Amino acid sequence: MKTAGQKNSTPVICAKLGITVVMMFVFAIFIMPPLYDLFCDVTGLNGKTGDALSKDKANSFGVDTSRTIKVQFLATNNENMPWEFGPKITSVAVHPGEPTVINYMATNTTASDMVAQAIPSVVPFKAANYFHKTECFCFNNQPLAAGETTDLGLSFIVDIDIPKHIKTITLSYTLFDITETAKATGVTKLEADKGLSSTKRLSAPSFLSTLAALN
């Protein structure tokens, strides 16, 4: 039935609305998560510290000896994670621009081989974009044999442009047990090959390759 004001036929309306539906679905799965990550990276929200900074870039900073910033280290075991995990020193005083190396330590106290992943977070959030890591154990997952102990190295540098009011930075790591996931998806190997960074959500392409690997 046609009326005077009618512009589109019913199939055209259905097709347009159907396309909108598909686009919104794609938007939810493939666009919103990366957009959220981008937003968090730009704003430093959630204390996400971003990817590794190259050593050359790090060395190009001058050192601002007029200021001292206290960097504190925390460690948390996620639920049911039995490892002993903690920083070797709890805090260190650094000048902005001064490269610093510290160590965490982890012991697999169980009788089975396990894989762990540490996830960093920085407070205050405003400091997240001024806290650069040149090397971090959190860039890779950590396989430990039963009873094994290891040092986990972290090299960082505080940006000389860090706002004046930030006097203390707290870096926290949460250790997750990813043994099952690593076994199931071969993530360990994937990461070793590609050197995925700490913001390595399995996005659509790697999700598909994971599926392919499963088959």
Partner 1 sequence: MAHGPAKGFTRWLYTTNHKDIGSMYLWFSFAMFLLGGVFALVIRAELFEPGLQIVEPEFFNQMTTMHGLVMVFGAVMPAFVGLANWMIPMMVGAPDMALPRMNNWSFWILPFAFLIMVSTLFMEGGGPNFGWTFYAPLSTTYAPPSVTFFIFAVHIMGASSIMGAINIIATIFNMRAPGMTLMKMPLFVWTWLITAYLLIAVMPVLAGVVTMMLMDIHFGTSFFDAAGGGDPVLFQHVFWFFGHPEVYIMILPAFGIVSAIIPTFARKPLFGYSSMVYATASIAFLSFIVWAHHMFTVGMPIAGELFFMYATMLIAVPTGVKVFNWVTTMFRGSMTFETPMLFSIAFVILFTIGGFSGLMLAIAPADFQYHDTYFVVAHFHYVLVPGAIFSITAGVYYWLPKWCGNMYNETMGKTQFWLAFVGLNVTFFPMHFVGLAGMQRRVPDYNQFFADFNMISSCGAFLFGAAQIMLLYNVIATIRGGKKATAEVWDNPEGLEWTVASPAPYHTFATPPEVK
Q: Which is nearer to partner 1, 61 or 104 (CB)?
A: 104
> Which residues in the chain belong to E strands, given as ranges?
69-77, 84-87, 91-94, 100-107, 114-123, 131-136, 142-144, 149-158, 168-177
**29 alpha carbon, distance to own chain's centre:** 19
Q: How far is the CB of 147 from partner 1 (least distance, A)?
A: 23
Peptide bond into 34 cis (omega under 30): no
Stretch 47-86: interaction string toward partner 1, x if CB under 8 A: -------------------------------x--------
Residues in the chain: 215
Binding mask 112-151 for partner 1 (x = CB under 8 A): -----x-x-----x--------------------------
Judge contact between 122 and 49, C-beta under 8 A: yes
Residues in touch with partner 1 (CB under 8 A): 1-10, 13-14, 17-18, 20-25, 27-29, 32-33, 36-37, 40, 43, 45-46, 78, 117, 119, 125, 174, 176-178, 181, 184-185, 187, 198-202, 207, 210-211, 214
